[in-house]
Amino acid sequence: MFDPLLRRMTDPVVDPIGGWLNRRGLSADTVTIVGFGVGIAACAALAWQAYIAALVLIALNRIIDGVDGAIARHHGATDFGGFLDIVCDFIVYAGFVFGFAVGRPDMALPAALLIFSFMGTGSSFLAFAILAAKRGITTEARGSKVIYYVGGLAEGGETIAVLFAICLFPNQFDWIAYIYSVVCWLTTAGRVAQARLTFGR
């Protein structure tokens, strides 16, 4: 929901960094893989209940995610780069919740519900992008992307805020998970309705 606003705020910061790294021959794919490693380290930190370390690592992961996109914009985005970026993001998002559940098995049920809810937002996001590409539908509302980015209540910015909240308020994880699960399912329902209007004929 807030991703377009966040992009307008962050792009002027990360674009010069991306340009500098691109001129030195660093590829966006390499940065994506490094960011993925940092994200997995954040998941592992949660499993050890090292919540501040997890917060720092997931924040660094998100910064790196912005930088790899900036490099791609300077060098030229590729289909594989877009694919790799999305796969890594989805694994880190689900892995973050899984890592928390490993460290706090008493929170396994809300963690399972949240990952289940991520399946709704993730599948609706990707399915919409596939059909949009088939019909030649494009948008740059969330910046120049390799695939169509459909909006909703639960987008990248909101998910990152939830991941931060998990680190800051681990004892309230169950309520965070339950509330954001509802937001995810509302997002999924909204995307299904949007897909019906866009692709139904």
Contacts of 140 (CB under 8 A, 6+ apart): none
Render each residue's pLDDT in the chain as its tens digit; 201 residues.
655 555 656 666 677 777 777 788 788 899 999 999 999 999 999 999 999 999 999 999 999 998 888 888 877 778 898 899 999 999 999 999 999 999 999 999 999 999 999 999 999 999 988 888 888 886 665 455 666 777 778 788 899 999 999 999 999 999 999 999 999 999 999 999 999 988 886
Query: What is the C-alpha to C-alpha distance for residues 180 and 158, in angstroms, rounded to an integer?
Result: 9
Question: Which pTM value belongs to this model?
Answer: 0.86
Superfamily of chain region 3-199: CDP-alcohol phosphotransferase transmembrane (TM) domain (1.20.120.1760)
For the chain, the structural domain boundaries read 3-199
